[in-house]
Amino acid sequence: MQADTPMSTARPLVNGPPQSRSAAAATLLTQALSAGGEITLQLSGLSMEPAIRNSDSIVVHGVAPGRVRVGDVVLFRAGSDLVAHRVIRRRTTHGRLAFQTKGDMRLLPDAPESAAGDLLGRVTAVRKDGQEVSLTGPAARAAGRAAALYGRASAAAWCALCRVVPRLANPDPAAGARHRTRRLFAIPLAPLAWVLFRSSRRESKKRKSARSSAR
């Protein structure tokens, strides 16, 4: 996967055709992590910046699905890819646990939700610039939960904006008072979505500028 692809995807670990290679890599990872092992992977993509940058390495440990919490960064199967994204919501439907995940830099959550069986492990550390940054300490856990809540709020605002704008551009003259009232209450969400989006972009630029100055 190219470096500018908006998804943090683990590079294959074995040779062969792409689909069989990814399947074999997932099988090897599952076996290693289920045995209590530790896996280090190098990622490509921009979707988890600034927490995980393009070409950073992650340390993954096996974890029972029931122990995964909102804010954790997990490695999971998404079709033929291996993806590392943050958990922003846990759902239990008819006794089946599923996770809603999202890249910190993406506008919308991943679709569909990840089933517990697709989970490979939890990211416990990130290795960047020769240093290892733990994601399991109290401060890191708190930052992860804050990022997850922000991700849920920004995604909800963006979805609301996408629903409102077409209606405002093409109002239905036959719409009743109930529908007009809904539109009026939804209008304030448009600037909120824009503010959240611009704030996310500015914060990312500030962190990149800070890293460049430190060098």
CATH of 9-134, one of 3.40.1000.10, 2.10.109.10, 3.40.50.2300, 2.70.50.60: 2.10.109.10
Q: Domain boundaries in the chain?
A: 9-134, 138-209
- Confidence at residue 198, expressed as pLDDT on a 0 to 100 scale: 67
Residue 5 has pLDDT above 50, yes or no: no
pLDDT mean over 146-170: 79
- Confidence at residue 42, expressed as pLDDT on a 0 to 100 scale: 87
Residue 189 has pLDDT above 60, yes or no: no
Residue 37 has pLDDT above 70, yes or no: yes
- For residues 8-39, b (16+ Cβ closer than 10 Å) or e, as one string? bbbebeeeeeeeeebbbbbeebbebbeeeeeb
What is the C-alpha R_g of the chain? 20
**Average pLDDT of the residues of the chain:** 75
- Confidence at residue 170, expressed as pLDDT on a 0 to 100 scale: 57
The alpha carbon of residue 28 and the mean position of all alpha carbons in its chain are separated, in whole angstroms, by: 23
Residue 28 has pLDDT above 50, yes or no: yes
Tell me which of 36-50, 141-155, 170-184 is least confident: 170-184
- Span 111-155, pLDDT tens digits: 888 888 889 899 999 998 889 999 999 999 999 999 999 999 888
Residue 67 has pLDDT above 60, yes or no: yes
- Confidence at residue 89, expressed as pLDDT on a 0 to 100 scale: 93
